[in-house]
Amino acid sequence: MSQYPGTDIERMTRRASADEARRPSARARIASVLPDSPAFDAGFTPGCFITAVDGEPVRDVIDWRWLSSDDVIVVSYIDTDGDEGQVELEREWGEEWGFEFDGLVFDGVRQCRNACTFCFMHQLPRGMRPSLSLRDDDYRLSFLVGTFVTLTNMTADDEARIVSQRISPLRVSLQASDDGVRRRLIGKHARHGIESLDRLLDAGIEFHAQIVLVPDENDGSVLADTLNWAYERPGILGVGIVPLGYTRYQNRFDHSFNEPSAARGVLELIEPFQERALEERGTPWVFAADEFYSNAWGARLLEHLPPTRHYGDFSMFEDGIGIIRSFVDDWRCAERRGIAGRCASAIRDSARAVRLVAGRAQVEFLDELVGKSCLDGLLQPLYVDNDFFGGNVDVTGLLVGDDISRAIAEDRARRRDDPLYVVPRVVFNDDGLTLDDMRLEDMEKAARCPIHVVSCSPLDYLVEIGNLIG
């Protein structure tokens, strides 16, 4: 039974209404309109705003989907001239309304109010574009795009809405179950977050949990206690454990779990929980990020990497859990399908080597995969140090344009041949910018040679490389 059934939720909702009133007014800006749709027929154009459906405000895409589920709705709008109005829309069964909106939330992103000691945003250098330092803590984005939230900024209105609209599952930054440890790691609002989590769990909302593991803070016995606490709550569908990441722009941390003994200690601690969960729930339930396996086993990584079935539906892929396994599976699939062989033939026929840019995190598995394949000596990884961020940052996705272009220029100066340089698309955002605001043409100018952008999966990039060099 929930601690806050019925009237208690209503009471909290009334109390929290003032918080909602202070938020920006909700206006869903229309980015595009599908031709011959109900929206098109009603005269909507890009730049108009939708403010309500059947009199209810539209705060985000979740509201829109919830409120527009009927086949006849009344839409309140503001047109491109600033005039307000209402129109009744009707659609055939299964027909789309025809609206595409600019963004997912329409009343402003909920920002973080915590003081997490491990916050990566606080470790960024000055001068980076503002969007990189936006610390969102918005449960709606958690549901829509999979970000992790602390729940420390939750109001009673928020909780009531989550329950009534069944906004589930969500992703929660758990860190620890112990009050004292949570407060040291997160700040003074830590207790509020875990109380909100328990209320939502009691109401049937499900969660994926994440623990950022900080040495000598929430590891060891604290981690064991946290996992026991979480396992007692069936609504926590799984727990992902990721190691502390730190840059050179801070003086709080100087180590994480990069030493083999430290990484193996974490894997050994969670193993009994995994065995119990497999027996009782059919899933390992608690998952360690790839870095723990890579750091623990080094050159023997592929011998100890969990099998594909260990990761289930790879629901924590974006948190660095199962990425190596997925890559290895794709590589071996490319070999079985002959994709690797065709790529090797194209490179051999061109008499030109290919240099594939990668972060240092890929050394332990990429060298072995390439070295034991028909691409050995033809596809040559170019591992780039992340001098920009420093610390223990070594993944490909956090490489910056300056480090990549400098590494390519230095590599090219050492060689007598003229390799084809390829960079994974993950280093660019949707606007074609690296984290240090370089575009591909900027990188080519700095490297003084052409650079080509390819996919991140070997199933795709081996085909792309073959086409580029053929």
Beta carbons within 8 Å of 292's beta carbon, 6+ residues apart: 241, 243, 257, 263, 266, 267
Per-residue pLDDT for 1 more than 80? Answer: no
In this structure, what CATH number is given to the domain that contains residue 89? 2.30.42.10
Q: Please report the sign of the dihedral spanned by the C-alpha atoms of residue 273, residue 279, residue 284, residue 285.
A: negative
Q: How far is residue 137's CA from residue 148's CA, in Å, rounded to a whole number?
A: 7
Beta carbons within 8 Å of 45's beta carbon, 6+ residues apart: 30, 33, 80
Average pLDDT value for the chain: 93
Q: How far from 144 is each of 134, 169, 202, CA to CA, in Å?
A: 17, 10, 22
Beta carbons within 8 Å of 277's beta carbon, 6+ residues apart: 231, 283, 284, 285, 286
CA atoms lying within 13 Å on the CB side of residue 73: 25
Q: Model pTM?
A: 0.89
Q: How far from 250 is each of 187, 361, 398, 402, CA to CA, in Å?
A: 18, 22, 17, 21
Residues 168 and 238 in one domain: yes
**Residue 229 burial by Cβ neighbours in a 10 Å radius (0-12, 13-18, 19+):** middle
Residues 273 and 134 in one domain: yes
Q: Please report the sign of the dihedral spanned by the C-alpha atoms of residue 112, residue 117, residue 121, residue 124.
A: positive
Residues 333 and 462 in one domain: yes
What tokens appear for 355 in the block? 């240099």
Indicate whether 108 belongs to any domain: no
pLDDT at 18: 38
Residues 368 and 407 in one domain: yes
Number of domains in the chain: 3
pLDDT at 126: 86
Per-residue pLDDT for 127 more than 90? Answer: no
Residues 134 and 276 in one domain: yes
Q: How far is residue 179's CA from residue 186's CA, in Å, rounded to a whole number?
A: 10
Last residue of a domain, one of 101, 129, 164: 101
Q: What is the mean pLDDT of residues 310-338?
A: 95
Q: What share of the chain is helix, strand, coil (3-state, %, to 5)?
A: 45, 15, 40
Express each pLDDT in 150-171 by its tens digit. Answer: 999 999 999 999 999 999 999 9
Indicate whether 76 belongs to any domain: yes
DSSP state of 111: B
Residues 163 and 97 in one domain: no
Domain containing 337: what range?
A: 328-469
Q: What is the DSSP string of 251-289?
A: SS-S--S-SHHHHHHHHHHHHHHHHHHHHHHSS--EEE-
What tokens appear for 318 in the block? 């974006």
Residues 256 and 350 in one domain: no
Residues 132 and 72 in one domain: no
pLDDT at 8: 36
Express each pLDDT in 258-316 by its tens digit. Answer: 999 999 999 999 999 999 999 999 999 999 999 999 999 999 999 999 999 999 889 89
Beta carbons within 8 Å of 33's beta carbon, 6+ residues apart: 39, 40, 44, 45, 46, 98, 99, 100
Q: How far is residue 263's CA from residue 299's CA, in Å, rounded to a whole number?
A: 14
Indicate whether 19 belongs to any domain: no
Residues 311 and 379 in one domain: no
Last residue of a domain, one of 290, 321, 352: 321
Indicate whether 21 belongs to any domain: no
Express each pLDDT in 222-270 by its tens digit. Answer: 999 999 999 999 999 999 999 999 999 999 999 999 999 999 999 999 9
Residues 70 and 136 in one domain: no
Least confident of 15-29, 160-174, 340-354, 387-401: 15-29
Residues 94 and 133 in one domain: no
Indicate whether 344 belongs to any domain: yes
Last residue of a domain, one of 277, 302, 321: 321
Indicate whether 50 belongs to any domain: yes
pLDDT at 4: 27
In this structure, what CATH number is given to the domain that contains residue 130? 3.20.20
Let me know: does 241 contact 213? Beta carbons within 8 Å: yes
Kindly compute the dihedral angle of the four CA atoms of residues 139, 140, 141, 146, in this order, to the nearest 10 degrees. Answer: 70
CA atoms lying within 13 Å on the CB side of residue 29: 10
With cut-offs at 50, 70 and 90, classify the pLDDT of residue 19.
very low
Nearest to 208 by CA among 235, 166, 241, 237: 237
What tokens appear for 404 in the block? 């990549």
Residues 309 and 219 in one domain: yes
Which residue is associated with the tokens 């829309």? Answer: 89
